[in-house]
Amino acid sequence: MTDTTAHANPQEFWESFYQERDQVWTGQPNPLLVREAAELTPGTALDLGCGEGGDAIWLAERGWHVTAVDISATALGRAAAHAESAGVRNHVEFAEHDLSDTFPEGQFDLVSAQFFHSPVEQHDERTRTLRRATEAVAPGGSLVIGSHAGWASFVEHAHVDVHFPTRDEILDGLALAPGQWQVETSDEVEREMIGPEGQAGVRTDTVLRVRRTA
């Protein structure tokens, strides 16, 4: 981590991140979640780091009953307003959690962690949280993890020092119990994107979907 973020308070960091602009994300669901969850039978879902609610709303519109959590009260307020506008507010429960300290209770048919990266995370925090997420998956349910595999091709000098874990590193970190899980998706996905100064580039992401079989 850089000196400016290594010791930052996570809640203060993310509150500032969202308060600096009126809208951060597009409002559209993450494509990797759409790819992996579109054909799943709706049930209960847990959206980790829900931000402004794009994924939670997409799931709710498809019949899921969603618990959506984030560390930022500002993000959660926007997400709730967007869910109200979309007509699915009654299908989404929003809750504030610092997932390094507290975690939603219960088990879910789908747990989603999309681009669960943070420049202010502590050592092994991401791994520990995702391992805790496996405990929240109900038998027969799925965990979908979408991650960046690196910086976009047009980034020459990253502003923070972040380790982007490989698929093997993520799977190893989950510590899945033998005979109780099935890896259903393990892919790298390259997408085109435009940089802040109009640069054309690509970024590679990874997606993992594991199903709890017992």
Which pLDDT tens digit goes with each residue over 134-143?
999 999 999 9
pTM exceeds 0.85: yes
* Average pLDDT taken over every residue of the chain: 90
Is pLDDT larger for residue 156 or for residue 47?
A: 47
pLDDT at 159: 67
Question: What is the torsional sign of CA 23, 26, 32, 33?
Answer: positive
Helix (H, G, I), strand (E, B) or coil at 13: helix
Cβ pair 51, 58 in contact under 8 A: no
Position 97 pLDDT exceeds 70: yes
